[in-house]
Amino acid sequence: MTRTGQGHGGRRRIMELDAVRDVSQSAWDALVADDSPFLEWAWLSSLEDSGSASRSTGWTPRHLTLWEGDRLIAACPAYAKDHSLGEFVFDQGWATAAMRAGIAYYPKLVVGVPMTPITGARILARPDDRSEAVAALAGVLEERCTAGEFSSVHMNFCRGTEVEELATRGWFRRTGLQYHWTNAGFGSFDDYLGSLRSKRRNQVRRERRDVAGAGVEVSVLAGREIPDELFPQIYELYCRTIDRLPWGQRYLNRRFFELVRERFRDRLSFVVARQKGQLIAGAFNVEKGDTLYGRYWGARRDVRYLHFEVCYYAGIERCIARGLRRFEPGAGGEFKHLRGFDAVATESMHWIAHPGLAAAVRDYLGRERRAVADEIEWFGTRTALRRERREPEA
Are the CB atoms for 41 and 27 separated by under 8 Å? no
> Residue 389: how many CB atoms within 10 A of its CB?
14
Least confident of 17-21, 120-124, 161-165, 195-199: 195-199
From the list 260, 257, 322, the residue with the least C-alpha distance to 291 is 322
Residue 14 is part of a domain; what is its CATH number? 3.40.630.30
Are the CB atoms for 169 and 138 separated by under 8 Å? yes
Q: Determine the longest span between alpha carbons in the chain, in angstroms.
A: 68
* 332 inside domain: no
Predicted pLDDT of residue 4: 55
Answer yes or no: do 151 and 9 share one domain: yes
Answer yes or no: do 232 and 157 share one domain: no
Answer yes or no: do 27 and 56 share one domain: yes
* 390 inside domain: no
Instruction: Read off the pLDDT of residues 20-45 as tens digits, 9 standing for 90 and up.
Output: 999 999 999 999 999 999 999 999 99
For the CA atoms of the chain, what is the radius of gyration? 22
* 167 inside domain: yes
* 253 inside domain: yes
The 10 Å CB-count burial string (b at 16+, else e) for 141-178 is bbebbeeeebbbbbbbbbbeebbebbeeeebbbbbbbb
* 165 inside domain: yes
* 45 inside domain: yes
Answer yes or no: do 168 and 27 share one domain: yes
* 340 inside domain: no
Q: How far is CA 278 from the centre of its chain?
A: 31
Answer yes or no: do 205 and 160 share one domain: no
pTM check: above 0.85: yes
Side-chain half-sphere of 192: how many Cα atoms within 13 Å?
A: 22
Q: What is the DSSP letter of 311?
A: I
Answer yes or no: do 359 and 306 share one domain: no
Instruction: Read off the pLDDT of residues 365-388 as tens digits, 9 standing for 90 and up.
Output: 999 999 999 998 888 777 767 655
Domain span at residue 256 reads 184-324
From the list 116, 63, 120, 71, the residue with the least C-alpha distance to 295 is 116
* 12 inside domain: yes
Q: Tell whether omega for the bond before 107 is within 30 degrees of 0, i.e. cis.
A: yes
Answer yes or no: do 281 and 363 share one domain: no
Residue 232 has pLDDT above 50, yes or no: yes
Predicted pLDDT of residue 381: 77
Answer yes or no: do 308 and 247 share one domain: yes
